[in-house]
Chain A
Amino acid sequence: MAGIVGYGVYVPKYRIKAEEYIKAWGNFAADGVKEKSVVGCDEDVVTMAIEASNNAIKSAGIDPKNINTVYLATTSAPYAEKPSSVTVAAAIGAEGDVRTADFTTSTKAGTAALLACLERVKSDDSGRCGLIVASDAPAAAPDSSLEHALGGAAAAFIIGKKNIIATIDKSYSLSMETLGERFRKRDEPYIRDLELRVQHLQNAITATIKNLQKSLNLEPKDFAYVVVQQPDGRAAARIAGKLGFSKKQLSTGNLAEYTGDVGAASTLLSLAAVLESAKHGEKILLASYGSGSDAICITVGAPLAAPKIEIKEYLQNKEYIDYVKYLKLKKVLSTFRT
């Protein structure tokens, strides 16, 4: 038996409000997003992952030497070749006989890495733990409407066999070929989307959630919380509503309203928020998306003993910036190249 033994998040301090986009462009294309988190000039996916991972290690109360797996999920790693998971492992003190891997090229990478980490810990008899961290800050061209929703954040989970606070009961995965939807070719800095008005997101999540519910013989009312991939502030509510979930079940884990689209970190950041409020015995249904979907059923066990930095703190500790500062922090106005 393996499960979640600790978790931690990181949300950068800077925020930009929808109004700033309206001032700059005349519109704001991210449905339901009031403000979004902005990665600082000296931050990236790696530095956010380190912060979230250290918070998770503290909450689990483990020695980082007791970690033998470090999986990083992201669509926007600083290097196309050279694993960022290794930098994270070195920074948390888990270097040496550690299995590392980067899970990437899809916003579904977070759940893919979580499931891989669970399977790794389950099949490992060393008694050591796994760390899975989803950290993302997707970028699109500043003159594309796709760019408006994109934020940044990280969420980390320690997977182990002792002192489990939540079990990962079952999952259902779907692979779905998509064309022209959220892609970035090698050597391109920005994601693109041809906005073909397809229903892939809704169809994939509906399929995985329905199949998982069927296999567990559960209905929407059996879950205290539902978490759905959040490309904006409204999509998750629309899909969850059609599947028979209430606003109450969704609202705790619907964070894009305040963070924007955090890509591969979306569902796991929301899972961390839900775990902070969930009580013993409650069930969480989570479904990611990105050319397919992973739906996961999680049951909450004992509460965390060790102190942790709550996501609320990160969401409250913020500094608003204007659009020009935003462009500077994103280095859109920088011509510096190394």
Chain B
Amino acid sequence: MTSYISLPSYLNTIDQRYRLIGKKCKSCGTVNFPPRVMCIECGGRDFEDIKLSGRGKIHAFTIISRGSAPSEFDDQQNMTGEFGVAVIELEEGPRIIGQLTDCDPNPEKIRIGTEVRATVRKLYEQEGVIRYGYKFTPV
């Protein structure tokens, strides 16, 4: 039996998905998240683990309307309506994409610069396996 999305590769990224563990480049100090083989800034290959705080600001965001989410988010969207997806600039520097949760994705409430924090939530469920990972919620 095979799985629809690679579970082994998901498992390999558990530390980043559950705990926001990034890689800090030993030559230039740039924090890479998600971890990369080569530093995004200087191309260095030597890193140390760094646990990111999960705090940051909305750099850009969009609202995913009904019918435009990937199929694994169908049920969530049916039950909660439209939801926000944002590029978050973390206080350590990296910009990462995540869903917004516990907030109405109304542009009156969510703005560029809104402060958020990371929280582990259920992302989706497939073949009986619950995929947990970070989302962001306004502070």
Residue numbers of A with Cβ under 8 A of B are: 13, 40-44, 46-47, 50-51, 78-79, 87, 90-93, 319, 328-329, 331, 333-334, 336, 338
Contact = CB atoms under 8 A, between A and B. Distances in A.
Given A78-B130, A334-B79, 18 more contacts: A40-B102, A41-B76, A41-B80, A42-B101, A42-B123, A46-B130, A46-B132, A47-B119, A47-B122, A51-B120, A79-B130, A90-B19, A91-B19, A91-B120, A328-B79, A331-B75, A334-B78, A336-B75
Given A40-B102, A42-B123, A93 B51 contact: yes
A52 to B, nearest CB: 12
Closest 5 CB pairs of A and B: A336-B75, A42-B121, A91-B18, A328-B79, A42-B122
Contacts of B127: 338
B20 to A, nearest CB: 10
B18 A90 contact: yes
A78 B123 CA distance: 14
15 contacts: A13-B102, A42-B101, A42-B122, A42-B123, A44-B122, A87-B132, A90-B18, A93-B51, A319-B102, A329-B80, A331-B75, A336-B74, A336-B75, A336-B78, A338-B125
* Contact residues on B (Cβ < 8 Å of other chain), bracket: 20 to 34
Given A93-B19, A328-B79, A329-B79, A338 B122 contact: no
Contact of A41 (B18, B79, B129, B130): B79
Interface string B71-101: 0001110111000000000000000000001
Nearest to A332: B79
A338 B127 CA distance: 5
A143 to B, nearest CB: 19
A180 to B, nearest CB: 31
A9 B76 CA distance: 26
Nearest to B123: A42
Contact of B135 (A13, A42, A46, A90): A42
A229 to B, nearest CB: 28
A51 B132 CA distance: 13
B69 to A, nearest CB: 13
A78 B125 CA distance: 11
Contacts of B121: 40, 42-43, 47
B40 interface: no
A46 B74 CA distance: 22
Contacts of A93: 19, 51
